[in-house]
Chain A
Amino acid sequence: MSGQNEHRTMTLKLIVWRQKGPKEAGRFETYVARGITEHHSFLEMLDVVNQDLIKEGQEPITFDHDCREGICGTCSQVINGQPHGGQTRTTVCQLHMRKFKDGDAIYIEPWRARAFPILRDLVVDRSALDRIIQAGGYTSVRTGAAPDGNSILISKEAADYAMDAAECIGCGACVAACPNGAAMLFTGAKVSQLAALPQGQVEARERVNSMIEAMQECGFGNCTNHYECQAACPKGIDVKFIARLNREYLKALMF
């Protein structure tokens, strides 16, 4: 059980990207985090640092967060070069300080990608992901027009496959991890979810075409099979959905 180390605290050195606004130059600044226990989450550690900064009359570090339980996809930091810090299937908000040692130096940066301009410090603009969904990430059912939920059977296998894809939280770590800044995993997950279900099939062809087009218009790069995206994904979304995206795209071109 945990517990024995409860009273031991850590002191850490943080090297953090600071940038006042989208058009201003950014730079790394160094801070010290004191009194951190293994039970602090990474964001709670930053809260502690920010409280100290405010009391010293300095500007706290701006970072995105909301649910703090790994589901909203708001938190977004590159820690020591790895989106979300590199722990398997973990968002920054769920990363705990027991993964670090007293005296560690930690680099903290924002998502970096052409399609995600920096707004301030660690906060970026991810509205491009919404634009990809707007292009076709839905079924066009009108409210009230749906048949009974059991009228179209869906095999458990297909439902589970769709759910595996649908787990994406839209955080953008896949884009941040990709050397090309591609959004193939994000787009592939949505296309695959809907393609696997009978409800999504009618619009499948149009969907994949327009989502891919939107992806390119938003400034995301191309996939050259590095698979960094899957490694960085806090929900473990599988690259098989990129293959599915390519297949769906080919199908759309051919028929």
Chain B
Amino acid sequence: MSTSVSSGGEPLAAPTAPAPASLDAAGGAAAAGPPPVPVLEARGLVKTFGHVIGLRGVDLTLNRGEVLGIIGDNGAGKSTLIKCLTGALQPDRGEILLEGRQVSFRSPLDSRQHGIETVYQTLAVSPALDIAANMFLGRERVSKGPLGLLFRKLDKRGMRAEARQQMARLGITTLQDMSQRVETLSGGQRQAVAVARAAAFGSKLIVLDEPTAALGVRESEQVLELIRELRRQQLPVILISHNMPHVFSVCDRVHIQRLGACAGVVSPATTSAEEAVAIMTGAKQLVAQ
């Protein structure tokens, strides 16, 4: 596992080279401007599954308007971490603060009602439902007419139209027919549905667990562009990815997860992808900041 990641990291050094330059401005602004405002903070998160330790006391901070990358080898606890943050799992210990207030999400619905949208690694789409139904799953619109008032009739046409608009806004062109069932879509198209859903409804922050894993080059670039757009709108994003060029081109800071713990948080402006991979695999250690 680790060799594939680091060997993947080396040839990628070239494309990442220009990235720090563009990020310097953002990094510099963050350093010189007003102090960062934390949107989401986690302290000392512990999560065990029987004898398996998923998280062994992890801290994480996400600031307003920032894209935080999370990298780490398979099984390092990335998904467990964001599941604890979004209510899909409940941490055994530790606390979570959303905009300074302590929260404990008992379900994904709980976190969603607090404005947190998540694309889970498993995508959480319902295969038998169509694209529009999946986009609006759990927050379906009822039609405005008398049937809606009296019999709670769904506004299927309205939701379909809005889903189509949302796809267009995100530049997703591979999905045309909003009444197509998700089980007939390719893996990448399903991922696009999940990302579009999160982008459409996230109001406080968006969590993306490997959103580009199944996407083609063009579609991946669209997701990265979407993340940049969210940052321009000051909406913070947590991005989990194994793709170092992606992480180092869009993220303001990168949280490195290793063996269930945080091995360090680095800035792409000052740390190269190779160094981050070395920390991730344990070849190098970061002195605590």
- The answer to whether A and B assemble together is no
Interface residues of A (CB under 8 A from B): none
